């Protein structure tokens, strides 16, 4: 009976929604997950837009390329600079039409198509109760005994790709050699970030590839001070998350409204406590206290999209070869 | 003859369905083969895991089958029935259950940890092998048990009167049976594991544990390298096809004729009894624990599942209905010898290969995602077709030999013959095979991974997504829902077939 009522409910709900315009937003799986910012962003935007914001979770760039101009997407959120070249080449994206001047980033942002909405440094997060001597460099990480590390597949996850490029940038021609050295410590390679982070929080692994801002979640949401980001002497990969709007969108006004919303104070204030990273359009002094206190690296690596794209194929093949042995 | 025409037409249709995607794969492959060292590693891993899985499944099945054969106890039929459960159980559900039991935080590793042993690693080779043994051990047990049961009772009487030792008894009674049955079981399990996708997708640990099927998916979606995907798909077709052909040369077990005197009351030592009892209990624990943990942990959240899960469930039911009717319809048209051969071709062309080929074929004409539902239903129908034909063919042949003369004499032919003679007499096997096909389709996590997107997701894909975003509670509750749907649809169709 309960099930029947439930079904009728769904049926009626789809009816009620049918009259509101739908803004379709492609986002990665983690974005709409338990820890993701998706649900609160949807709620905040729907309050003012008079529309139905629908997230469609999954791969971003591959899906866009396969769907081409017949794509349903109006907005794509959760890209980063390592994949924007491919995304740009689809010719599906329109200029973001927001002012890059309103951004507060460690670098000067000049792209007019993709707009950063938050950023952080790619880092390994560890459990202090299980790791007594945290690694201070990639060498330390490879030399750790009995540490189980979970990373993401660079072909399906952009944080995974960031790591591969980061290591390639640090090690150059010796990157494959380094991966072979690190391989025994890797418990598994997951498809996406949230799967890996889930393995970490459930105790299957002690170290996970994530971001230097991830511990903020444990500190403020759980009062747990034991999860920390290992800061490496070599410097860290700076990771900007981007949003873009589609040229062929059937809701151009809503899409434009959403891009504006991304830089608004409301959205930017949601970011730290939902996506657990630094807001892109707020000055450090406006960040929540926890974020201001997080340790961060002295040096940042940043690859522009052309360089990232050039390195990508070789770096991934080296990773694949080293890890398949 | 009318049914010969039907067979020919449906065989041609089926061959077309299989060859179309294959042609496109050959076209996209550019007729070349550029395999990198990691592709070679995937091929090697595919063979290694399949060999381990097949060997372990076969070897472990021997003592269990022997124990079930020689011991008689209350509930034995039930035990044999339970051994059929993994066949219908959706792969994703079993994987979830196995992670709960054998994962780093699972019961087994907590025990191992307590005694200071190395933990069992479920991600990677051994996890993949574990899941394959979970699915194929029961199959192996049932086939061996059947072989052992076929030994005529006279032989037992004779050998018992000779007062032989344990090992002599083994070589005199069981060895001849095992020698005949085991190689073909090994080959079947090996072939099944070669095409492993869902298990490798969920338990494979990155490049180190990638099967060819998974590599096809990865080059398809991660790299958008269609040429590489097509090349790997052709490699996969070649691998499975050669194994299937090779296994035809293995001697098939033949039935030994006797007077069917069953001997149950031959005496065992106390030691044998205890040993057999232990073996049966451990096997049951291995099969039933992962299923029970899903029921245990999943039941709490089943009423608070989000609408998207129910939406996925409804889609799964629709696809299952569509594909089971399609499969049984084709099966009814293919109940001849040629039909059986053609119907089995689907085994060599795995779901992912079919899916990749169809995707590339449809890509030329429009958005392949729009055809996700019919493509998934069709591919699922082809997967269950060999089983359906195997179920329908013997009774169908019997009907033809028994009723053909009579039908001709009273002028019953064409559609009337099909309705009054063929379908009426086949309703029980039809019900059974509809149930089987529906359950298999319900649990399938193959093509839909290629064609599904955020909007179109079947229940197994939804569970995979929930696992990926680490909503374990919802994943477990959805897994329970999926098992209920799979077992439920089987039971309902089977029941209808018996009642009508």
Contact in structure between B350 and B337 (CB atoms under 8 Å):
no
User: Quick check: B477 pLDDT over 80?
Assistant: yes
Domain ranges of chain B: 1-27+305-500, 33-303
Phi, psi of A189 (to 5 degrees): -115, 120
Mean pLDDT for the stretch of residues A299-312: 89
Higher pLDDT, B257 or B452: B452
Domain with CATH 3.40.190.10 in chain A: 15-119+239-293, 121-238+303-324
Phi, psi of B268 (to 5 degrees): -115, 160
CATH architecture of A121-238+303-324: 3-Layer(aba) Sandwich (3.40)
- CA dihedral (B444, B445, B449, B452) positive or negative: positive
User: Quick check: B368 pLDDT over 80?
Assistant: no
**DSSP characters over A85-97:** HHHHHTT-EE---
pLDDT bin (cut points 50, 70, 90) of residue B252 is low
pLDDT bin (cut points 50, 70, 90) of residue B317 is very high
Residue range A216-231, pLDDT digits in tens: 999 988 899 999 999 9
Q: ipTM of this predicted complex?
A: 0.73
Nearest to B471 among A33, A55, A320 (CB): A33
Higher pLDDT, B438 or B270: B438
Residue B467 with chain A: CB contacts under 8 Å: 195
Please answer yes or no on whether B223 and A155 come within 8 Å at the CB atom.
yes
Higher pLDDT, B173 or B45: B45
Residue range A193-247, pLDDT digits in tens: 888 888 888 888 899 999 999 999 999 888 999 999 999 999 999 999 999 999 9
**CA distances to A219, B44, B109, B310 from B306, in Å:** 29, 41, 32, 7
pLDDT bin (cut points 50, 70, 90) of residue B259 is low
pLDDT bin (cut points 50, 70, 90) of residue A9 is low
Please answer yes or no on whether A36 and B469 come within 8 Å at the CB atom.
yes
User: Quick check: B46 pLDDT over 90?
Assistant: yes
Q: Which two structure tokens, joined as six digits, stand for B247?
A: 């296994």
Mean pLDDT for the stretch of residues B447-462: 82
Comparing CA positions, the residue from A261, A255, A267, A253 lying closest to residue A73 is A255
Residue of B468, B476, B488 for testing the chain A interface, max A β-carbons within 10 Å: B468
User: Quick check: B449 pLDDT over 90?
Assistant: no
Q: In CATH terms, is domain B33-303 a member of 3.30.70.580?
A: no
User: Quick check: B424 pLDDT over 70?
Assistant: yes
CATH architecture of B1-27+305-500: Orthogonal Bundle (1.10)
pLDDT bin (cut points 50, 70, 90) of residue A168 is very high
Residue B210 with chain A: CB contacts under 8 Å: 324
pLDDT bin (cut points 50, 70, 90) of residue A253 is very high
User: Quick check: B455 pLDDT over 70?
Assistant: no
What confidence score (pLDDT) does residue A129 get? 92
Domain spanning A15-119+239-293: which superfamily?
A: Periplasmic binding protein-like II (3.40.190.10)
Mean pLDDT for the stretch of residues B411-424: 81
Asked if the domains at B1-27+305-500 and B33-303 fall in one CATH topology, the answer is yes
For the stretch A177-206, what's the b/e string if a residue is b when 16 or more beta carbons lie within 10 angstroms of its beta carbon? ebbebbbebbbbbbbbbbbbbbbbbeebbb
Nearest to B105 among A29, A191, A202 (CB): A202
Contact in structure between B495 and B487 (CB atoms under 8 Å):
no
């Amino acid at each position: 009976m309960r099930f029947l009522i439930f079904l009728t409910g769904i049926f009626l709900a789809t009816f009620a929604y049918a009259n509101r315009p739908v803004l379709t937003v492609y986002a990665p799986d983690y974005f709409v997950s338990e820890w993701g910012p998706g649900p609160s962003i949807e709620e905040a935007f729907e309050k003012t837009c008079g529309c139905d914001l629908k997230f469609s979770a999954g791969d971003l760039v591959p899906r866009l390329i396969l769907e081409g101009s017949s794509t349903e997407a109006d907005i794509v959120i959760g890209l980063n600079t390592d994949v924007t070249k491919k995304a740009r080449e689809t010719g599906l994206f329109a200029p973001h039409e927001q002012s890059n001047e309103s951004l507060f980033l460690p670098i000067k942002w000049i792209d007019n198509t993709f707009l950063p909405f938050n950023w952080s440094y790619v880092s390994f997060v560890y459990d202090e109760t299980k790791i007594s001597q945290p690694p201070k460099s990639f060498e330390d990480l490879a030399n750790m005994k009995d540490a189980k590390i979970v990373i993401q597949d660079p072909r399906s996850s952009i944080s995974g790709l960031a790591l591969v490029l980061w290591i390639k940038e640090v090690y150059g021609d010796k990157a494959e050699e380094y991966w072979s050295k690190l391989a025994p410590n890797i418990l598994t390679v997951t498809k996406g970030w949230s799967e890996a982070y889930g393995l970490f929080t459930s105790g299957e692994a002690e170290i996970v590839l994530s971001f230097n801002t991830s511990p903020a979640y444990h500190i403020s949401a759980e009062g747990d001070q034991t999860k920390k980001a290992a800061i490496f002497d070599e410097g860290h990969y700076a990771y900007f998350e981007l949003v873009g709007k589609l040229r062929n969108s059937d809701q151009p006004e809503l899409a434009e409204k959403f891009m504006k919303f991304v830089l608004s104070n409301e959205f930017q204030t949601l970011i730290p406590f939902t996506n657990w990273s630094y807001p892109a359009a707020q000055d450090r002094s406006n960040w929540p206290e926890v974020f201001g206190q997080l340790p961060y690296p002295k040096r940042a690596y940043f690859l522009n999209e052309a360089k990232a794209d050039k390195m990508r194929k070789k770096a991934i093949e080296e990773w694949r070869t080293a890890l398949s042995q | 003859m009318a049914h010969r025409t039907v067979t020919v037409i449906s065989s041609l249709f089926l061959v077309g369905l299989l060859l179309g995607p294959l042609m496109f794969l050959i076209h996209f492959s550019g007729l070349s083969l550029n395999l990198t060292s990691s592709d070679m590693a995937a091929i090697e891993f595919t063979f290694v895991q399949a060999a381990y899985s097949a060997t372990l499944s076969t070897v472990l099945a021997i003592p269990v089958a022997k124990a079930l054969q020689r011991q008689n106890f209350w509930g034995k039929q039930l035990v044999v029935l339970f051994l059929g459960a993994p066949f219908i159980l959706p792969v994703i559900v079993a994987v979830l259950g196995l992670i709960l039991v054998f994962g780093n935080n699972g019961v087994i590793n907590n025990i191992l940890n307590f005694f200071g042993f190395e933990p069992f690693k479920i991600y990677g080779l051994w996890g993949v092998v574990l899941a394959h043994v979970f699915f194929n051990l029961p199959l192996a047990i049932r086939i061996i048990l059947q072989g052992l049961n076929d030994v005529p009772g006279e032989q037992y009487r004779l050998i018992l009167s000779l007062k032989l030792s344990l090992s002599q008894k083994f070589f005199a009674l069981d060895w001849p049976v095992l020698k005949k049955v085991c190689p073909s079981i090994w080959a079947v399990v090996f072939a099944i594991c070669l095409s492993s996708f869902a298990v490798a997708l969920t338990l494979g640990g990155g490049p180190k544990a990638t099967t060819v099927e998974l590599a096809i998916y990865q080059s398809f979606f991660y790299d958008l390298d269609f040429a590489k995907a097509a090349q790997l798909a052709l490699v996969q077709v070649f691998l499975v096809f050669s194994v299937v052909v090779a296994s035809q040369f293995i001697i098939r077990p033949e039935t030994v004729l006797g007077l069917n005197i069953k001997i149950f009351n031959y005496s065992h030592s106390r030691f044998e009894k205890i040993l057999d009892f232990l073996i049966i209990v451990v096997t049951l624990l291995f099969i039933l624990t992962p299923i029970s943990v899903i029921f245990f942990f999943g039941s709490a959240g089943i009423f608070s599942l989000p609408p998207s899960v129910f939406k996925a469930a409804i889609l799964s039911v629709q696809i299952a209905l569509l594909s089971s009717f399609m499969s049984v319809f084709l099966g009814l048209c293919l109940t001849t010898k040629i039909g059986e051969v053609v119907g089995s071709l689907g085994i060599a062309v795995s779901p992912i290969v079919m899916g990749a080929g169809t995707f590339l074929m449809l890509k030329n004409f429009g958005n392949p995602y729009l055809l996700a539902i019919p493509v998934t239903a069709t591919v699922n129908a082809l997967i269950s077709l060999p089983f359906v034909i195997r179920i329908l063919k013997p009774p169908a042949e019997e009907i033809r030999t028994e009723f053909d003369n009579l039908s001709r004499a009273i002028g019953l032919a064409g559609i009337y013959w099909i309705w009054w003679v063929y379908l009426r007499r086949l309703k029980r096997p039809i019900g059974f095979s509809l149930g089987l096909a529906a359950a298999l389709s319900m649990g399938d996590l193959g093509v839909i991974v290629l064609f599904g997107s955020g909007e179109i997701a079947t229940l197994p894909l939804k569970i995979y997504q929930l696992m990926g975003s680490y909503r374990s509670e919802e994943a477990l509750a959805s897994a329970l829902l999926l098992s209920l749907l799979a077992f439920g649809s089987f039971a309902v169709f089977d029941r209808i077939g018996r009642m009508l």
